């Protein structure tokens, strides 16, 4: 039998054929009116995804480039910053800060949990002079969504800026940059944007742009002030990933024509159907629900006792054609992660659950075949108009 391939990871995500075709056209030069118009349109469309009037710049880099830029462009040597973390990506913020000589105060919770706004308020009180608070929104490594609206409410009352890694949240979960008072939000192309890796986005509020003026950390490629100036002239500072920016233009138009709020609703329905499905055969979510909100980008599932967890992503990919993600770092072999991010439809729920069932049978886990698929299907029937 042939093995048909499905990319269901929480990044990189599947790219629609029409976008691939658009990106396959002969290359254009980046210093042309034709390309300037695309840059200008993307900048406007990105604002709709972030729900902001602030400038949203596009860097040619993976998401981590924008995370780094969100430190180097606002902070100065020796500044104190609180990093809220309960997973691998939160830890990355702390590592970048430390690398640049920032005094990082880590506010940690166990993997699978989150850090509550009240804890952030306490930490801000205990550490006067903190310049910024960094947090994940959707912590992709644990599939937990942090209460960003709540944390923003706490931070906006202080002089600190609030920086959010929205890399798997933008275009996936509710994100109201301006209304909630987020100062800096970052995202990446290979997540909800349905295009290949290579672009990172960063939006910055007026409060953040003020801090940018005094920031003395080293920066060159990721110099935000320069990039904002270039963008105002509808161009970029350096040679951008032209092909992916063209793909982005089509992807953003698709997202806006579906309606950003509908895109977010779709992500919830797909993710919830997966959550319902896995629990129907007795599997447990890794996210500490209901104490935390699960992310709608990805579902982390605990590997059941007696099953060799590291084999699950391998068998799903190599034998059944469905690429998902395993656990990162110390979570390797303990969880596996099903995707609901980006170009995802109800059918992708069924594809993943059935490949998961086949794989778990192969690995000796006992359950009633088809039950996860049936439960997810029932949820989909009850919750969407087919």
Ligand X SMILES: *Cc1c(COP(=O)(O)O)cnc(C)c1O
- For ligand X, the binding residues (CB under 6 A) are 11, 62-64, 89, 136, 140, 165, 167-168, 188
Q: Which is nearer to ligand X, 62 or 354 (CB)?
A: 62
Q: Which is nearer to ligand X, 188 or 327 (CB)?
A: 188
DSSP H stretches of helix in the chain: 17-23, 33-50, 63-72, 88-99, 117-126, 148-155, 177-180, 206-214, 224-232, 242-258, 260-280, 311-318, 346-362, 371-383
Distances (CA, A) of 230 to 224, 227, 361: 10, 5, 55
Strand order in the sheet with 103-108: 56-60, 199-204, 184-188, 161-165, 130-136, 80-85, 103-108
Minimum distance from residue 66 beta carbon to ligand X (Å): 8
Please provide the DSSP assignment of 97-156 as one string: HHHTT-EEEEEE--TT----HHHHHHHHHHSTTEEEEEEESEETTTTEE--HHHHHHHHT
Q: In terms of CB distance, is 140 or 215 closer to ligand X? A: 140
**Residue 87 beta carbon to ligand X: minimum distance, rounded to whole angstroms:** 8
Q: To the nearest whole angstrom, how small is the minimum distance from the Cβ of residue 177 to ligand X?
A: 17
* Cβ neighbours for 360, distance < 8 A, ≥ 6 positions apart: 281, 304, 307, 312, 367
In whole angstroms, the minimum distance from the beta carbon of 63 to ligand X comes to: 3
Q: Nearer to ligand X by C-beta: 138 or 205?
A: 138
For ligand X, which is the closer residue by CB, 89 or 193? 89
Task: Let me know: does 324 contact 266? Beta carbons within 8 Å.
Answer: no
Q: For residue 83, what is the DSSP state?
A: E
User: In this chain, which residue has its C-beta nearest to ligand X?
Assistant: 63
Based on CB atoms, which residue is closest to ligand X, 115 or 307? 115
Closest to ligand X by CB, 84 or 167: 167
Q: Shortest gap between Cβ of 336 and ligand X (angstroms)?
A: 16
Task: Answer for the pair 134, 165: CB distance below 8 angstroms, yes or no.
Answer: yes
Distance between alpha carbon 328 and the CA centroid of its chain, in Å?
15
Provide, rounded to whole angstroms, the least separation between the CB of residue 89 and ligand X: 4
Query: Is 188 or 342 the residue whose CB approaches ligand X more closely?
Result: 188
- The least CB distance from residue 79 to ligand X, in Å, is 22
State the minimum distance, in angstroms, from the CB of residue 31 to ligand X.
Answer: 27
* In the complex, least distance from residue 14 CB atom to ligand X, rounded to whole angstroms: 15
The alpha-carbon radius of gyration of the chain (Å, integer) is 21
Backbone angles phi, psi at 371, to 5 degrees: -70, -35
Peptide bond into 152 cis (omega under 30): no
Nearer to ligand X, 168 or 372 (CB): 168
Pairing of the two strands 184-188 and 199-204: antiparallel
């Amino acid at each position: 039998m042939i093995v048909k391939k499905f990319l269901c990871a929480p990044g990189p995500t599947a790219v629609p054929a029409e976008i691939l075709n658009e990106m396959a056209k002969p290359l254009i030069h980046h210093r042309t009116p034709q390309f300037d118009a695309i840059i200008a349109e993307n900048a406007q469309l990105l604002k709709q995804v972030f729900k902001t009037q602030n400038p949203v710049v596009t860097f040619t880099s993976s998401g981590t480039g924008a995370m780094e830029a969100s430190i180097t462009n606002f902070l100065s040597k020796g500044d104190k910053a609180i990093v809220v973390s309960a997973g691998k990506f939160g830890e990355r913020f702390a590592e970048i800060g430390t690398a640049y000589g920032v005094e990082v105060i880590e506010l940690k919770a166990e993997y699978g949990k989150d850090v509550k706004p009240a804890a952030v308020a306490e930490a801000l009180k205990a550490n006067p002079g903190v310049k910024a608070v960094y947090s994940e929104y959707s912590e992709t490594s644990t599939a937990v969504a942090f209460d960003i609206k709540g944390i923003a409410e706490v931070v906006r009352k202080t002089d600190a800026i609030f920086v959010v890694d929205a890399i798997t949240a933008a275009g996936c979960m509710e994100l109201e940059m301006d209304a909630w008072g987020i100062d800096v939000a970052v995202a990446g192309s290979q997540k909800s944007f349905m295009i290949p890796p290579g672009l990172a986005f960063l939006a910055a509020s007026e409060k953040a742009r003020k801090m940018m003026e005094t920031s003395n950390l080293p920066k060159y490629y990721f110099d935000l002030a320069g990039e904002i100036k270039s963008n105002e002239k509808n161009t970029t500072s350096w040679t951008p990933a032209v092909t992916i920016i063209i793909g982005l233009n089509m992807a953003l138009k698709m997202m806006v024509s579906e309606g950003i709020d509908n895109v977010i609703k779709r992500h919830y329905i797909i993710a919830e159907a997966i959550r319902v499905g896995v629990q129907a055969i007795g599997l447990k979510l890794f996210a500490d629900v209901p104490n935390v909100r699960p992310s709608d980008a990805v579902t982390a599932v605990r590997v059941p006792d007696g099953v060799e967890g590291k084999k699950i992503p391998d068998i799903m990919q190599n034998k059944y054609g469905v690429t998902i993600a395993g656990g990162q770092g110390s979570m390797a072999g303990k969880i596996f992660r099903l995707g609901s991010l980006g170009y995802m439809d109800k059918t992708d729920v069924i594809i993943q659950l059935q490949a998961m069932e086949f794989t778990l049978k192969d690995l000796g886990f006992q359950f009633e075949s088809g039950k996860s698929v049936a439960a997810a299907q029932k949820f989909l029937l009850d919750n969407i108009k087919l």
